[in-house]
Amino acid sequence: MACSAVRSSGGVQVKLKSNPDEFWDAILNSTKLFPTAIPSLYATIFPTNADGTVRNITYGHDSPVIKESEEQINGNQKPKFSYTVLSGDILKYYTSFRAEISIVSDEDGTWAKWTWETDFPNANNPLEIGVVLEELAMKTLAKLDDYLLRA
């Protein structure tokens, strides 16, 4: 029996050095802040609808595989920011991509977590894109945290 789709999940987490409330505000304001704070990863982000819940992202030179995406923001209530990718380079590899950025605390500190669920069109898709996404997410969270410490 052939497998028609494969579901996968992934994610990264970074222990925050910056103020968690400031980090959360930066996530909420990522449309404006990411191109300023992390231009090597995010060249431009602009809303494509009136309420700003759909946005087009052009990635920077440190993102050689993923260059563009369009996202629908599904939720942004603290401590979770969730979105679905509607189009772009990520969907060359997946049939669907849903992600969540959250701020969580435990006995070891406060963490920024970026997790995602994906569907592959078939089990033979290359897994290298998962490594690319992990690197992009990890760099984004760490560089944003560093930016906020310097601000």
pLDDT of residue 4: 61
CATH of the domain at 75: 3.30.530.20
* Phi and psi based region of residue 83 (left: phi greater than 0; alpha: psi -120 to 50; beta: remaining): beta
Could you give the number of structural domains in the chain? 1
pTM over 0.85: yes
The answer to whether residue 3 scores a pLDDT higher than 70 is no
Residue 1 lies in a domain: no
The answer to whether residue 9 scores a pLDDT higher than 80 is yes
The answer to whether residue 69 scores a pLDDT higher than 50 is yes
Residue 75 lies in a domain: yes
Residue 50 lies in a domain: yes
Residue 26 lies in a domain: yes
pLDDT of residue 6: 80
CA 101 to chain centre: 7
Residue-wise pLDDT tens digits, 29-66: 999 999 999 999 999 999 999 999 999 999 999 999 99
Residue 4 lies in a domain: no
Residue 3 lies in a domain: no
> What DSSP line would sit under 71-88, residue for residue?
EEEEEEETTEEEEEEEEE
Residue % of the chain over a pLDDT of 90 = 78
Residues 6+ apart with CB under 8 A from 76: 28, 82
* Strand partners for 10: 116
Residue 65 lies in a domain: yes
Q: Under a CB-based contact definition with an 8 Å cutoff, are residues 98 and 73 in contact?
A: no
Q: Give the domain range for residue 64.
A: 9-150
pLDDT of residue 8: 85
Which of 83, 58, 59 has its CA nearest to residue 73?
Answer: 83
Residue 68 lies in a domain: yes
The answer to whether residue 103 scores a pLDDT higher than 90 is yes
- Work out the mean pLDDT of the chain and round it to a whole number: 92
